[in-house]
Structure 1
Amino acid sequence: MNQNWHSTLIRHLLLLVTGCLLIGLVTGYYGWSLAAGVALYLGWTLKQLLRLHDWLRNHQPDEAPPDGYGLWGEVFDSIYHLQRRDQRVRGRLQAVIDRVQESTAALKDAVVMLDSDGNLEWWNRAAETLLGLKTPQDSGQPVTNLVRHPRFKEYFEQDNYAEPLDIPSPVNDHLRIQLYITRYGNNEHLMLVRDVTRLHQLEQMRKDFIANVSHELRTPLTVICGYLETLLDNVDDVNPRWKRPLSQMQQQGERMQTLLNDLLLLAKLEATDYPSDNQPVPIDSLLRTIKNDAQALSGQRNQTITLDVEADVALKGSETELRSAFSNLVFNAVKYTQDGGHIRIRWWSDGSGAHLSVQDSGVGIDSKHLPRLTERFYRVDSSRNASTGGTGLGLAIVKHVLLRHRARLEISSVLGHGSTFTCHFPPVQVTKSLSPDLIN
């Protein structure tokens, strides 16, 4: 195309020069004839430029460029073809966009597009039902201004969206929604929202069932264990041969009581999102107490338990819940570490928050079991758990306590070389310990 334009331009200039020379030959004024011809050509060219400029400034979207002839006719024709090609491309793109919008509008799940600052750009009809978004007045608004649940604000401002968030719907408190956020493009956000009310109701039924059954079993089990204890105290007067079966029944009864207590604790932890007694907890003294209890549990097994604590770092939360979680981790390390093994408890803080690690030199855990360790009743080795008296609920309790304190549990282990359980608490949960004088 450029080569054709060049040849056309050269041809027009040659014709212009030839015509001017012929006029000069007739009139005898070669210079004036050439100057007049060039001036006329430049005037005509300027007129065409002005026509093009006026069309570019004032033309309607589908208005064709002005007519022309010669070199400028080819220019206007080229613009016309480019315009038509652009319209076809835009038509195809618009058809794709319309198709995507139609398909997303048919989804029962909400799809919301947010810019890098979290402002609303686009959403489908389901978002209006689940989140209460309104078109077009909510466009450009920060999503945190429209979804005002405090957990959503924390979730949106964090960098890790690996786990979804379950909250009540802003439209209806009886409606439960689950949100997934994915980053794409130039740090923009794509938010998917699902209605999980039915799943939430089923989960609540399960929790209520376990809590009710645990409460109902607690009283008869207490009565049974009480009578077993009475019979054991007087077994020599009744029949000495009953001592062994009564002892076994008492052991199993105590194990069932421990299981019920753990189930009731889990039900209590799941009842609310945050601890009611959210007070500064002195972690240094708490860990020293747990270490002493672990040393007593170890007994004559010659295990070495060391404690490394940053004394002035405390946590906001429930001391009872944190004691339950930390003691579960430490006591598990004692149970599953061989005689003469080493257990290290460490508490420290840095720019990302506070951390507790419990490291042991025990039997270790195969990597295939790590993702499921915090599930209820999940056992890596059922025979080993039976021998140590575990209920399979310890790490589930740890997980729920940490969730209530905005923390997470990290597990690393190598089979035969021990395990490390690390609790990571965000900076918002960390505070300074009060001195004994201030406490008193």
Structure 2
Amino acid sequence: MKQQWRGGLVRRLLLLLGACLLVGVLSGQYAWTLVVGLAAYLGWTLWQLLRLQQWLQRKQVDEPPPDGHGLWGEVFDSIYHLQRRDQRARGRLQAVIDRVQESTAALRDAIIMLDSDGNLEWWNIAAEQLLGLKTPQDSGQAISNLVRHPRFKEYFAEENYSEPLELPSPINERMRLQIQITLYGNCEHLMLVRDVTRVHQLEQMRKDFVANVSHELRTPLTVITGYLETLADNVEGVNPRWLRPLQQMQQQAVRMQNLLNDLLLLAKLEATDYPSDSLPIQLEPLLTSIRNDAIALSANRQHQVSLEVEPGLSLRGSEAELRSAFSNLAFNAVKYSPDGSSVCIRAWQDAQGIHVAVQDSGIGIEARHIPRLTERFYRVDASRSSSTGGTGLGLAIVKHVLLRHRGKLAISSSLGHGSLFSCHFPAQAVQEPH
């Protein structure tokens, strides 16, 4: 194409020069004829450029370029063909966009596109129904200005979207939404919002059932336990062959009572998102008390329980709940470690927040069990857990306590080398010293 244009331009210039020379021969004014001819050609070229510039300024996408002759006609024709090709490409892209928008409009789940700063760029119809977004006035608004729940603001600011977030709809408190954010492109956000009200109601029914049954069982179990204690205190008047059954019934009654207490504690933890008594808690005296309780639990098994705490560490939260979580980890380390082994409780602070870890030198846990350890009643070894009197709810309680304090539980273990349970609290939960 370039060679054709170059050849055409050379031919036209040669024709112009030939015509000027011919006129010069006839008139005898070679120089003036050449100057006038070149000036005319330059003026015609400038006029064509002016036409092109005016067409570009009008910015009409579908308007064809002006007509022309000669070299400029070829230029305008080339622009026209490029324009038509671009229109066809844009037509295909628009068809794809229309199909995507039609398909997303039919979805019951809300799809929202945000820029890197969290400002709204695009959303489907379901987003208006679930979150109350309005078209077009909300375009360009920050999503945190429209979804103002404190947990959503924390979730969005932390930029850790590995787990979905569940919270009430901003337009209907009885509607429960699950929000999942994915990063793509240049740190842009794709937000998927799903209505999980039905699932939440079923889960709430399950929680209420467990809590009510646990509460109702406490009274008859207390009566049974009381009579068993009375019989055990008067063993002289009991037939000797009934002593062992009485002891076993008393042990199982105590175990059942512990199970009910743990179930009621879990129901209480699940009832709200935040602790009701959020106060500054000094970790050193709290962990010292837990260490002493762990030593008392070890008794004749002679575990070496050590404590390493950076001075001045303080968390904001519920002391009773944190004591329950840390005690579960420390007591599990004692229960499931061989006699005479070491257990280390550590607490430290860094740029990410405060960390509390319990490390034992027990037999360890297989990797396949670790993801399920915080599930209710999940046991790595049912016989071993039964012999230690565990309820199977300890780590579930730890998980829920940490969630209420915006913390996370990390578990690492290998067979024959012990286990490490670490509680990580974000910087927002740290109580700065005054």
Whether the TM-score (by the shorter chain) exceeds 0.5 is: yes
SS of 1:176 mapped into structure 2 = strand
Partner of 2:205: 205
**What amino acid is the match of 1:63?**
E
* CA positional deviation for 1:302: 2.6
8 Å CA contact 1:120–1:140 kept in 2: the answer is yes
Partner of 2:396: 396
* CA positional deviation for 1:27: 2.2
8 Å CA contact 1:321–1:401 kept in 2: the answer is yes
Distance of 1:179 and 1:87 partners within structure 2: 38
SS of 1:409 mapped into structure 2 = strand
Partner of 1:37: 37
Distance of 1:432 and 1:31 partners within structure 2: 92
Partner of 2:125: 125
Per-residue Cα deviation, 1:306-346 (whole angstroms, up to 9, x for no partner) = 10001201111110000000000000011111112111110
Per-residue Cα deviation, 1:233-266 (whole angstroms, up to 9, x for no partner) = 2222131211111000000010000000000000
Ranges in structure 1 where 5+ consecutive residues have no aligned partner: 435-440
8 Å CA contact 1:312–1:432 kept in 2: the answer is no
Partner of 1:27: 27
SS of 1:281 mapped into structure 2 = strand
Listed as ranges, the matches of 1:409-424 within 5 Å are 409-424=409-424
Distance of 1:428 and 1:77 partners within structure 2: 65
TM-score, structure 2 as length reference: 0.98
1:4 has 2:11 as partner:
no
**What amino acid is the match of 2:108?**
K
Partner of 1:347: 347
Partner of 1:103: 103
1:288 has 2:282 as partner:
no
Partner of 1:191: 191
**What amino acid is the match of 1:300?**
N
Distance of 1:160 and 1:238 partners within structure 2: 63
**What amino acid is the match of 1:338?**
P
Partner of 1:438: none
Partner of 1:251: 251
Listed as ranges, the matches of 1:292-331 within 5 Å are 292-331=292-331
Distance of 2:185 and 2:191 partners within structure 1: 14
Distance of 2:274 and 2:394 partners within structure 1: 19
1:182 has 2:182 as partner:
yes
Distance of 1:58 and 1:104 partners within structure 2: 36
Partner of 1:159: 159
* CA positional deviation for 1:59: 5.1
Partner of 2:18: 18
SS of 2:369 mapped into structure 1 = helix
Distance of 1:234 and 1:12 partners within structure 2: 127
Distance of 2:125 and 2:433 partners within structure 1: 50
Per-residue Cα deviation, 1:74-118 (whole angstroms, up to 9, x for no partner) = 011011111111111111111010000000000000001111111
**What amino acid is the match of 2:168?**
P
**What amino acid is the match of 1:163?**
E
SS of 1:33 mapped into structure 2 = helix
SS of 2:306 mapped into structure 1 = strand
Change (3 A) 1:433 1:214: farther
* CA positional deviation for 1:32: 1.8
8 Å CA contact 1:114–1:121 kept in 2: the answer is yes
Listed as ranges, the matches of 1:341-380 within 5 Å are 341-380=341-380
8 Å CA contact 1:406–1:429 kept in 2: the answer is yes
Partner of 1:437: none
Distance of 1:73 and 1:433 partners within structure 2: 80
Ranges in structure 2 where 5+ consecutive residues have no aligned partner: none
* CA positional deviation for 1:31: 1.8
8 Å CA contact 1:111–1:191 kept in 2: the answer is yes
Distance of 1:379 and 1:120 partners within structure 2: 46
Distance of 1:82 and 1:353 partners within structure 2: 59
* CA positional deviation for 1:214: 0.2
**What amino acid is the match of 1:88?**
R
Listed as ranges, the matches of 1:211-222 within 5 Å are 211-222=211-222
Change (3 A) 1:262 1:93: same
Per-residue Cα deviation, 1:272-320 (whole angstroms, up to 9, x for no partner) = 1111110011110000000011011111223211100012011111100
8 Å CA contact 1:353–1:427 kept in 2: the answer is yes
**What amino acid is the match of 2:171?**
V
Q: How large is the Cα RMSD of the aligned pairs?
A: 1.0
**What amino acid is the match of 1:298?**
S
Change (3 A) 1:59 1:215: closer
SS of 2:190 mapped into structure 1 = strand
Which deviates more, 234-243 or 273-282?
234-243
8 Å CA contact 1:127–1:193 kept in 2: the answer is yes
Which deviates more, 393-402 or 11-20?
11-20
**What amino acid is the match of 1:239?**
N
SS of 1:175 mapped into structure 2 = strand
Distance of 1:432 and 1:129 partners within structure 2: 42
**What amino acid is the match of 1:275?**
P
Per-residue Cα deviation, 1:167-192 (whole angstroms, up to 9, x for no partner) = 10011101000000011111111100
Listed as ranges, the matches of 1:136-147 within 5 Å are 136-147=136-147
SS of 1:299 mapped into structure 2 = helix
Q: What is the count of residue pairs matched by the alignment?
A: 434
**What amino acid is the match of 1:327?**
S
Partner of 2:112: 112
8 Å CA contact 1:235–1:242 kept in 2: the answer is no
8 Å CA contact 1:280–1:433 kept in 2: the answer is no
Change (3 A) 1:79 1:391: same
Distance of 2:432 and 2:46 partners within structure 1: 79
